[in-house]
Amino acid sequence: MMNDALLSIENLRVGYAASGTEEEQWAVDDVSLILQPGERMGLVGESGCGKSTLGRAAMRLLPTSTRIEGRVMFQGRSVFDLTSEQLRRFRGEAVALIFQDPMTRLDPLMTIGNHCLETLKAHSPQLSNLQAKEKAIATLQKVNIPPERWSQYPHEFSGGMRQRVAIALALLLNPKLIVADEPTTSLDVTVSAQILQELTRLCAEENMGLLLISHDLAMVAEYCDRIGVMFQGKMVETGLSKEVFRNPQHEYTRSLLKAALHIQTFSDDNDADIKDEFASSLKEKASNVTPLLTIKELKQHYTIEPNFIERIFKGQGQTIKAVDGIDLELYQGEILGLVGESGCGKSTLSRTILQLIRPTGGKVEFLGKDLTSLSRQQVRSERRQMQMIFQDPHACLNPTMTVGQNIADPLIIHHIANAGTAKEQVLWMLDKVGLNPSEMYYQRYPSDLSGGQQQRVAIARALITRPKLVICDEPVSMLDASVQSQVLDLMLELKAEFELTYLFITHDLWLARFLCDRIAVMYGGKIVELGATQKIFRNPQHPYTKTLLAAAPLLARA
């Protein structure tokens, strides 16, 4: 049986030298697994447990200073014994890796089409340009990227669409095994479901193996035959997905499941009544209370500049209506969820509200002031009351500054405190977001922290100016289930304590149900449905909302 295995990992140990010491830490500690052709295996565990290191070790993508023990065999051949030429062909033709962050795979100076042609030509030089282009366009269409976007660059795509390009590049060479490391973290449920269904179908048709590294337990339960649970570098539990989820043996697997179910199966009736009450009190409020934020007929249009040939034949460039005439009101103290697929305009809307990009048309009124009519300087001072928590904490944390300096920065920018008086406020805020002892975290750098800890720093930075409105753009999508529920509970506690109002952008519907009072569903730059959370879940009206709900993987269904 073992000789027929597609991938077999035997007693693998991977060691990194701890920074500043000679002592080695085993990131992967004595792990063995076997993957058969056509089999789909999910690898789950919290960030830092070693699952990504395992995937990279199997493809020999780790730094040369890394100490590796054990064996990795692919179709009976040792991966560690391949020559550099064999290794080049092995990566791509035999095994393809899909990373969590698509920009690790995409060159910002190359068009999407050239990425595809370069990949195909490097491995299949006999293909003509036309044959290569035809194959590439067909592969891009599999992941819902239309041919007219062939000449665009990565920066012209949303995060989710970039990931679809990266997945298409992995599929181009028909590999025998795909190692997918959090491939759908930045994708919405519908595209995520389409891509995983596509990968599942390919595995069956081409007898291709899939090693899916993820922190999304529901997704692994739905798409993988087998599961391996990793904890602190060790494989603590393996088995058929259905059996492991039905009857987890290890304490850690039980805690992971409990954390995921905490978000997905909150006590429907009790919480629904509270949320319904809140939503109906909002309706009454709406008649006599001024909204905190009012958006009127907001538009954000972009033009794709045509290249020389297109200009001759087609004339003008193509206009993309990222935000297309949106009306929305947000009231003090509520959590409004904004859901929709990648590329629908959610993040563009949030950046337009903050006036990080000026709108093509329409108004944004915050605390009674029309932000679109203010000067840059005036908008900047208003931003003290409006802050943003990004999907990736690196978007707002400066790696050359300590955690303390990063959090104090907004206080100094807005002249709320000087370097001397800021420290006390920062230490207090570190305490509030659960980074104790605060003195120790104050001195550290973002790179010393885990993903969940970095996100807590980003939350502290957003709240230090005591804003009234916080725009949260997928703030927990990159975190594993246990850390995710801790951060969400923290956000709810801070909301009550600081009387915050949240605009919560997410593609995770169960998260929106857990957290939000009202939900706005966005599709193609427009809001197609808006209402109380429970109403939308019990009785969705728009066909797109129904599609979203049907596509969302649910642990209880697995």
Q: Among 428, 448, 464, give the residue marking a domain's end.
A: 464
The reported pLDDT for the residue numbered 20 is 45
374-428 pLDDT per residue, tens: 898 888 888 889 999 988 787 789 999 999 999 999 999 888 888 778 999 999 9
260 with 274, same domain: the answer is: no
- Is 239 part of a structural domain of the chain? yes
The reported pLDDT for the residue numbered 235 is 94
- Is 256 part of a structural domain of the chain? yes
- Is 195 part of a structural domain of the chain? yes
522 with 549, same domain: the answer is: yes
Model confidence at 26, pLDDT cuts 50, 70, 90, reads confident
Instruction: Say if CB 36 and CB 210 are below 8 A apart.
Output: no
The reported pLDDT for the residue numbered 196 is 84
Q: Among 442, 464, 486, give the residue marking a domain's end.
A: 464
- Is 311 part of a structural domain of the chain? no
CA distance 200 to 180: 12
Domain membership of residue 459 as a residue range: 393-464
Which of 143-152, 208-217, 256-265, 308-317 has the weakest average pLDDT?
308-317
The reported pLDDT for the residue numbered 199 is 81
CB atoms within 10 A of CB 536: 26
Specify the number of domains making up the chain.
Answer: 3
201 with 56, same domain: the answer is: yes
- 3-state SS, 8-40, equals EEEEEEEEEECCCCCCEEEEEEEEEEEECCCCE
The stretch 329-356 carries a mean pLDDT of 87
60 with 175, same domain: the answer is: yes
516-537 pLDDT per residue, tens: 999 999 988 889 999 999 899 8
Q: What is the percent of the chain where pLDDT is above 70?
A: 89
CA distance 408 to 388: 15
pLDDT at 72 over 90: yes
The stretch 252-269 carries a mean pLDDT of 72
Sorted by sequence, the CB contacts under 8 Å of residue 262 that are 6+ apart come out as: 485
439-496 pLDDT per residue, tens: 999 999 988 887 778 888 999 999 999 999 999 988 887 777 777 778 888 889 889 9
pLDDT at 22 over 50: no
Instruction: Say if CB 132 and CB 172 are below 8 A apart.
Output: no
The reported pLDDT for the residue numbered 365 is 92
The reported pLDDT for the residue numbered 21 is 45
110 with 233, same domain: the answer is: yes
309-327 pLDDT per residue, tens: 656 655 566 777 888 888 9
pLDDT at 268 over 70: no
pLDDT top residue among 261 and 86:
86
Instruction: Say if CB 558 and CB 551 are below 8 A apart.
Output: no
